[in-house]
Amino acid sequence: MHAKATYMKRISPEIVRAFREHSVYIAILLLSNIAVYFDYWTGYRIFNGKDLLTAFAPLLNFQTDCLQDGSLPLWNPFMNFGYPFVEHYSNTMFFPTHLLMGLFTGSTIELIQREILFWIFIGGTGVYLCAKELGRSGIAGVAAGMSYMFCGQIMELPHWHLLVYNAACFPFFVLGYHRAVISGRPLNITSILFVSFSILGGHITTAVLGLYIFAAYVAVDSLMRKNVWFGVRYLFITSVSAVLLSLPKLAPMAAAMTSGPRMLAPESLHTKDPFNTINFYNFMSYLLPVKFFFSLYIGLLGVVALAFSAIRKKIRADASLVLFILSAWLLMVDSEGNVSFLRSALNFLPVMKLVRNEWFEWFYPSFFAVLWLARSVDLLIDERPGRDNIIAAGVMAAALSIIFVSFFNTDVYVVAFIGQAVLIVLFSSVAFLRGNRNILLAAVVLLITVEFAFVINRVSVDEPPLRDDRFIRIAVVDQGSVSRSYMDDNMVRNKFYAVAVQDRFRPSVSESAGFPVLQSGLDGDPTYNMYPAQFARFIDSMNLKRFSGWWYNAQERHDFIRLKDSEMLPALDKQPLFVLFGQESGAPSGTAELDKISCSSFDLSAAAPGPGFLLLHQFYDDRWKVLVDGKEHSLRRVNDYFMGVEVLPGKHKISFRFRDNIFTASLLVSGIAALLLIIYGIVRMRRGALANN
């Protein structure tokens, strides 16, 4: 007991110092997040993104319901007549907050939304800590964190859910690297954990793209420091460790992509879409944000500070500036939909051909922009105010006026223009408060909060939902719903409304055993054509645990693609999930009941008057094993798609069990890697405590 008390006493000064240094600023970030996104925190507004509402949220609900029922979400029986969810890119069962939701709280659209906002706050905290690690002041750090939390890219990312986690984790990649540089040790647990979190919870191709961009940052910074060998060792240790921790997600996905074609093959990803792009036209949103989608706005303080630094001739290049330029170039798409030369040159890298929709990856350049501009913010608030502040305000006001008159609808956006002009003057004047740092901090935080609160409320396309005792009616939009032109208004076009059962009425996975009937997913339509009513049905199809065929999914297996395009799909409507046939007659014979269902098993009771065959309308996969009365039997493929087993006369207990050996092995490897990292962390803490003593 005495040794433990002595150890805590030794490490407490560091903890106290860190708490005192950062707690106030992190609390400011949290409170500003709640203030700006208040309507979303309270549930008054719901993020109206089509992919979030009709795909990601229902899949997260399924995953959470599996964990609530005590089973891992390895197989999803409610999409494509059975899909190996262990290999789906949206499987995030080991992402920390999703695991906690599954084990303790469950999930609703409101809770998912708050969890998204929490991770936006985490991302802002990461930017703040990065700025501090690079020697910036607390004021500049908190301004950078706020700018990142509320910038145009982060504001729109909740519409695609998984991308928020990529954006929130990325600042910690950089933070861990700089802490590794300072310590001189190439192994940094912060970097390793957040790289693995980005893989486990984020969009997988975006995570890989982020690793490439981060590797470029480390390479550039190592060259500038003339310590390339350290950067190489750091990248190797970080990437290998993170991959080992993420193997339960990566290994099944990698195996799946070699098992057969998917709907989205690499050659089909780039269709030269001239509308869903970001190019030089969007750069005007750095000064005047009037559109929700494709906005690059990062706030005016950093831009005004940059003008001030240029006038003072104190602009400095570092790795952040280089990576802002490179990542922006990488993600640029011209007005005809052609990707950049840099992007084409890098397509030889693994997974790069799978990266698409470059316009929602622009949070990477946004991060480097706000981090680099933090130095200019410090210069603005630390230098004695005078003529240069007035010149900076005049230059920025002139630039704003020129683009406003030349490229914007002046009648529609005149109020936004006036608001931005006033903010330019106010941000240029904050240095006059430099005599009292607390007042200066309060002024900067208040101005940024008001700035982004007005911007988000002005450009947001999200509507409040309508609720009654059972149903919720939600507007559904995507990037194609709003024009990109600054010459027209921000009116949302082509949106539709989805009416779905509220989450509190969602049945559990085990309760789905009470309604074992198939649904084609067409609901009487002759074909699937992606019109709004079909999108809306996806929500209830998954949430209400319907054994559906067609479902919103971009990773269909090749066998389901064949079924989808055949006449068999509509014929399966209202067919039973399972049927016991007589072997001789080929007609239904005897009885069968579904006793229990989980996210990796089906347990049935069958009574056969003679030799029979039990058909289970779930897609055949050789990872399934079938037991009859506790003994393994041969699993048969039925009707080219489904699976079944022969049964002898009499009463039987039949169990189908899904087991993925790759997943099991990768789980073991990840567990060992996590244990070794924990031991390393404990050893480092003890050595640090002894050194401090």
Can you tell me which residue has the tokens 């003339």?
226
Cα–Cα dist 563/556, whole Å:
11
**Average pLDDT, integer, range 84-105:** 96
CA distance 42 to 47: 12
Q: Containing H/E element for 323?
A: helix 319-331
pLDDT in tens, 580-623: 999 888 899 999 999 999 999 999 999 999 999 999 999 999 99
In this predicted model, what pLDDT tens digit does every residue of 438-497 receive, in sequence order?
Answer: 999 999 999 999 999 999 999 999 999 999 999 999 999 988 788 888 999 877 878 889
* HSE toward the beta carbon, residue 639, CA cutoff 13 A: 19
The percentage of the chain sitting over the pLDDT mark of 70, rounded to a whole number, equals: 93
State how far the Cα of 138 lies from the Cα of 438, in Å rounded to an integer.
11
d(CA 424, CA 407): 20
Q: What band does 44 get if pLDDT is binned at 50, 70 and 90?
A: very high
Looking at residue 320, what is its pLDDT?
Answer: 98
Confidence band, pLDDT 50/70/90 cuts, at residue 264: very low
Per-residue pLDDT band for 555 (boundaries 50, 70, 90) equals low
Residue 268 — pLDDT band, cuts 50, 70, 90?
very low
- Token pair recorded at residue 498: 């989805």
DSSP codes, 165-233: HHHHHHHHHHHHHHHHHHHT-S--HHHHHHHHHHHHHS-HHHHHHHHHHHHHHHHHHHHHHT-HHHHHH
Residue 531 pLDDT: 64
Residue 8 to residue 105: CA distance in whole angstroms: 33
How does pLDDT run across 276-305, given as a tens digit for each residue?
Answer: 788 889 999 999 999 999 999 999 999 999
Query: What pLDDT score does 272 carry?
Result: 63
Range of weakest confidence among 212-216, 430-434, 507-511, 657-661? 430-434
Cα–Cα distance measured from residue 481 to residue 258, given in angstroms and rounded to the nearest whole number: 36
Phi, psi at 643, each rounded to 5°: -135, 160
> In the 8-state DSSP scheme, what is residue 352?
G
The per-residue DSSP string of 419-465 comes to: HHHHHHHHHHHGGGGTT-HHHHHHHHHHHHHHHHHHHHHHH------
- Pairing state of beta strands 578-582 and 636-638? unpaired
Return the residue matching tokens 């798609």.
641
**Per-residue confidence (pLDDT) for residue 338, from 0 to 100:** 85
For residues 617 and 578, the answer to whether their CB atoms sit within 8 Å is yes
What angle do helix axes 162-183 and 189-201 make, rounded to 10 degrees?
170
Q: How far apart are CA 413 and CA 290, in angstroms?
A: 7
Residue positions counted in the chain: 693
Locate the domains of the chain by residue range.
2-36+108-250+273-279+287-459, 578-659
> CA 488 to CA 42: how far, in whole Å?
32
What distance in Å separates the CA atoms of residue 112 and residue 117, rounded to the nearest whole number?
9
The per-residue pLDDT for 538 is: 87
Q: Which CATH architecture has domain 578-659?
A: Sandwich (2.60)
Q: What is the CA radius of gyration of the chain?
A: 28
